[in-house]
Structure 1
C-alpha cells in the first residue's frame, strides 16, 4: 500500500523532522505490505508525539510505545497491523547496569552518555540513562547491548563493568515536584521560565541566547517565544518545568499560572 506522503508530510516544515517522518512512513508501508510489526529507534517526547500524530492518520495501523519502564522519556514506537494485540509485541530493549567505584569521582548523566556515544553508538539506539549511586542504568536496543557490554570499560577515568539486568531491577529516581502558583506579565518563555526557576528575566535571557534552554525538547533561542499550557521548558543545569495551568488575567492585568518544577 502506498501512502499519501505529500498529505502526511505537508504540514512539516523542519527538514530534520521530515527525514524522521519519511523513515517512519517507509516502515508503515512495510508493515501494511508484509503484515509484520516494526520498531523505530528511541525518540524523545517531542519526536514521539510528532510521529504518533502522523501514524494516527494512517488506516489499518496501530502503534504502541515502550522505553523499558513505565515512566521512560525516550521510547521506541512499535508499528503493527491493527488486528494484532500490542501485548504480543517485543520491543527488543535491554537494560544494562554500568557499575564502578564512583565514591571519589562526581559523574553526571552527561558523563555516562558521552562515554556511550564515544564508542560510536548513535543516540537513537539508546533510551533513558538513570544515574545511580554506583553507576548508571542504560536502556538500549538489543542490537547494541553486547557491543556496549564489551567495549564500555571506562567512564570519566573510572573503570566500569556492564551487565544486563531485568527491568524489575531498575532503581528508578524519586521524582519530586514543586508546584508554583504565580503571575506573569505575559506568556513569553523568558517570563514563565524566570518565574519557574526563581531567577531574573535578564539572567534567563542570557541563558536563552546561550542556547541553554529548550521548549518541548527543542532548543529555543527566542526570549519572546510564546508558551502554552502543557509545554515543557528545560534549562541546562537547572532541570525542567511544565506550564501546568493558565488561569487567566488578574485584576491588575497579569496572567495567573501554575508551574510544576521537577526537582
Structure 2
C-alpha cells in the first residue's frame, strides 16, 4: 500500500527530519503490505515525538515505544496492525555488560559510545548507555549484539569483556529531580513550559513555534492546554513533568508543582 507522503511530511522544512520520517514511512508501507510488526531504530525524545506525531495520523496501524526500561531516553518504535495487542510486540533489544579494570581510569558515556561507534556501528542501533562501577551496560538492537560481543575489546585503552545479561539486572540510572512550586497565569503550554524550563514566556513561544518542544512526546501549539501528568520535553534542555495542579490563588493565578528531570 502506497501512502500519500506529501500529506504526512510535505510540511517538514528540515531536510534531515524529513528524511527520517520518510524512512519511517517506508516501514509503515511494509507493515501495511505484510501485516507484520516492524521496528524503527533508536531515537532521542525529540525525534521520537516527531515520529509519533506523524504515526498518529495514519489509519490502520498502532505503535508503541520501548527502550528497555520505562524512563529510557532512547527508544525504538514498534509499528504493528491495529488489531494486534501491544503485549505481542518484541522490541528486539539486548542488554550487554561491558566490563574491565576501570579503577585507575576515569571513563565517561562518551568513551564507551566512541569505542562502539569506532567499530562501524550506527548510532541509531544503540540505545541508552548506563555507567556502572565496572564499566557500563548498553542496550542495543539485537542485530548488532553478536558483532559487539566479538569485536569490542577495548575502551579508553582498557581491555574489556562484553557479555549479554538479562534486563532484570539492569542498573537503572539515578535521576535527579528539581521540584518547582510556582504559579502561572494559565495552563497554556507556553506559560507552564516557561516556568518549568526557566525562560521567558515569549522565548518559550518561539521554541514551541520552532517545534523544539514536545507535549507528551508530540508537537503542539503555543495555546495548547496542559494538565496534571503531562510531560514536556525541550530539545537540549531535558524534561518537565506537570506533577500537580493545585488550583487558583487569591490573585487569580494557578498554583502548580513541576518536576524537572536534570
State the TM-score, normalized to the length of structure 2: 0.75
**Residue 138 (structure 1) shift:** 0.5
- Taking the TM superposition and a 5 Å limit, the aligned residue runs for 1:37-56 are 37-56=37-56
Q: Which residue does 1:150 correspond to in 2?
A: 150
CA distance in 2, matches of 1:44, 1:20: 12
Moved over 2 A (4+): 180-184, 189-195, 228-235, 239-247, 255-263
Conserved 8 A contact 1:241-1:259: no
Please provide the CA RMSD for this pair.
3.4
CA distance in 2, matches of 1:133, 1:234: 30
Conserved 8 A contact 1:148-1:162: yes
Conserved 8 A contact 1:149-1:163: yes
Q: Which residue does 1:175 correspond to in 2?
A: 175
CA distance in 1, matches of 2:45, 2:235: 13
**Residue 12 (structure 1) shift:** 1.5
Q: 1:83 to 1:240 in 2, by over 3 A?
A: closer
- Taking the TM superposition and a 5 Å limit, the aligned residue runs for 1:1-263 are 1-181=1-181, 216=213, 231-233=232-234, 240=238, 242=240, 244=242, 260-263=259-262
Q: Show CA shifts across 1:149-205 (max 9, x none).
A: 111111111111100001111011222312134689x97x9997567xxxxx9xxxx
Secondary structure of the 1:41 match is coil
Q: Which runs of 5+ in 2 are unaligned?
A: 185-189, 201-211, 215-221
Secondary structure of the 2:174 match is coil
Q: 1:62 to 1:191 in 2, by over 3 A?
A: closer
**Residue 61 (structure 1) shift:** 0.8
Conserved 8 A contact 2:100-2:159: yes
Q: 1:89 to 1:106 in 2, by over 3 A?
A: same
Alignment length, in residue pairs? 234
Q: 1:231 to 1:136 in 2, by over 3 A?
A: same
CA distance in 1, matches of 2:110, 2:197: 23
CA distance in 2, matches of 1:190, 1:84: 39
**Residue 126 (structure 1) shift:** 0.5
Q: 1:37 to 1:158 in 2, by over 3 A?
A: same
State the TM-score, normalized to the length of structure 1: 0.75
Conserved 8 A contact 1:129-1:137: yes
Conserved 8 A contact 2:61-2:79: yes
